[in-house]
A and B are shown apart, each in its own frame.
Chain A
Amino acid sequence: MSRPDRREASQLRALNCSLGQLNRADGSTQFSAGNTSVVSGVYGPVEAKVYEEKLDRAVVEVKFRADIGAPTTKDKWVESAVRSTFEREILAHLHPRTLVQIVIQLREGDGSVDSAAINATTLALVDAGIPLKCMITAATCAVLFDDTTVVDPTQEEIDAARSTHTFAFASGSNDRGPLYVDSRGEFTMDEYSHCYDMCTLATERVLAFMRTAIEGKVTKEAKIGAA
């Protein structure tokens, strides 16, 4: 069965990113997978308000805004997903009593929005120079009604799916297990395992893409800094 955009079942959409576009944010990224496009800005570590500061670590705050409409509970879900994933991976104990604020703006949504948000946040944190334990990459899988499993589904495919699964992994160490899992719909354990494996492979490709982008930027800017 062919996909509407003629991709293979395990094929990701074209990935694109640019780092450091927002000049007032400490770190920023524009990340897109096909038509799903996300801008992420990171501010921090900055001074935290007294009522929200933690004495031994930085506080991580996430704000997510959808492309249209006022904020809804769905946006809060994405915020909590991103926050819980990154709270443990940011080396927050290096910056006590500070705040790391992550702002994510969805520019265009065409499926797999939560994994795009997580990937964009990783790149923005790296651009800001905030210390991380690892690179966090995410991918989404959908099990369609005809029992095929596809990676990086578009909104059209998600609407026609029996279940969708988003996984986020830490780079380089799959024995840590996924950092984030979100499964919705009806599925069997076999389908779940199959999605897990497909997302593992997909995130490896996302990681390779991110590394290329970062290394390109570091090499280019090292020349400016040295001048």
Chain B
Amino acid sequence: MTMEIDEAPQKVGIAARIVTPGTAITNDPAFMRGHGTFSEHDTIYSSVAGVVERINKLVSVRPLKQRYSGEIGDIIVGRITEVASKRWRVDVNSRQDGVLLLSSINLPGGIQRRKSESDELQMRTFFAEGDLVFAEVQSYFADGALSLHTRSIQYGKLRNGTLVTAFPQLVPRSRSHFHTLPCGVDVVLGVNGYIWVSKHVSASKVEANAELIYSDKNEPISDDEREVIARVANCIQLLNRLYVKITDTSIIFAYEASLAHSVKDLLTNDVAVELAHNVMARLEQQA
């Protein structure tokens, strides 16, 4: 098999080339360099291994695998790692912990209440270390850390369920990341790969109890509800293992196909492969 080692930069045919770090992409000054590139002496070089992408005048290299790096507007699930002065540090499965400022959360007892000094001193009554939070990316700090906010009734502390970790690339960005599945389970699909599966709590109930948005107490969950939550969680894990995109549709398809097996068996290799193929076939049919 012959293989070209690209040493000279090329002006034409930039798109769809596979490059490795240090490969020269172009020395045409008309192009701007994007992610995955660096420039030295008027030549744009690739800094990662991947496919060269050209959009108008922007040249970038998209590597296949990278840690989740947030974009403004992303809906994510994170875990509080530290309580600091007027802010929390949140593990968001990214290169750096995200930051949730005290001024970016809803204070209990009505959205419009002013932040008081006692709020600063009682930050653990809102979020403590280990809590899971459903938030949106608001902006970046100067060093690239994500700044999060939960300024909406649907965001906040997560309860009544279990966390599943998936590859961030498998969770597509869409209009809504909070879904109620027909089997009676709520699913929060964090774009950073953290997915929360929980017992369904109606929205009206949440709004009625505005004082309890930071409560640590779970609702009572029956054994049947636990089994459904576990089944959905295992379905998501097997979708993740076989690189199937994780959307509400694919989870529903996987759930329906999984009813023929016990919850425990869903993670064995044979069953997982069979169900994943089943889901992929149905998704293709639908498309």
Contacts and interface: CB of A to CB of B under 8 A. Distances in A.
B3 A26 contact: no
B73 interface: no
A135 B95 contact: no
Given A45-B67, A98-B95, A128-B65, A91 B22 contact: no
Given A91-B47, A97-B143, A215 B63 contact: no
Nearest to B284: A227
A97 B96 contact: yes
A91 B48 CA distance: 10
Contact of B65 (A127, A170, A173, A212): A127
B21 A126 contact: yes
Interface in B152-178: 169
B19 to A, nearest CB: 9
A155 interface: no
A93 to B, nearest CB: 10
Range for the number of chain A residues in contact with chain B? 35 or more
Contacts of B47: 91, 131-133
Range for the number of chain B residues in contact with chain A? 20 to 34
A212 B177 CA distance: 39
Interface in A108-148: 126-135
B34 interface: no
B36 A96 contact: no
B96 A98 contact: yes
B123 interface: no
Interface centre among A130, A131, A219 (most CB of B within 10 A): A131
Given A46-B95, A211-B3, A132 B48 contact: yes
B20 A222 contact: no
Nearest to B24: A172
B3 A212 contact: yes
A129 B7 contact: no
The secondary-structure label for the interface of chain B is loop
Interface string B34-70: 0010100000010111110000000000011111000
A32 to B, nearest CB: 20
B23 interface: yes
A131 B45 CA distance: 11
A8 interface: no
Nearest to A171: B22
A41 interface: no
B18 interface: yes
Interface centre among B51, B64, B66, B143 (most CB of A within 10 A): B64
Contact of A131 (B5, B38, B67, B169): B38
B97 interface: yes
A52 interface: no
Interface in A57-85: none
Interface string B85-126: 000000000011100000000000000000000000000000
Contacts of A217: 64
Given A91-B38, A170-B22, A129 B63 contact: yes
B144 A222 contact: no
B70 to A, nearest CB: 13
Contacts of B3: 208, 211-212, 215
Given A130-B48, A218-B50, A26 B65 contact: yes
Interface in B239-274: 243
Contact of A208 (B5, B23, B49, B67): B5
A211 B48 CA distance: 12
23 contacts: A20-B65, A46-B67, A47-B97, A97-B96, A97-B143, A126-B21, A126-B49, A128-B65, A129-B49, A133-B21, A133-B22, A133-B38, A134-B22, A135-B22, A170-B22, A171-B20, A171-B22, A172-B23, A212-B1, A214-B20, A214-B49, A217-B64, A219-B18
Interface of A: 20, 26-27, 44-47, 55, 91, 95-98, 126-135, 170-173, 207-208, 210-212, 214-215, 217-219, 221-222, 224-225
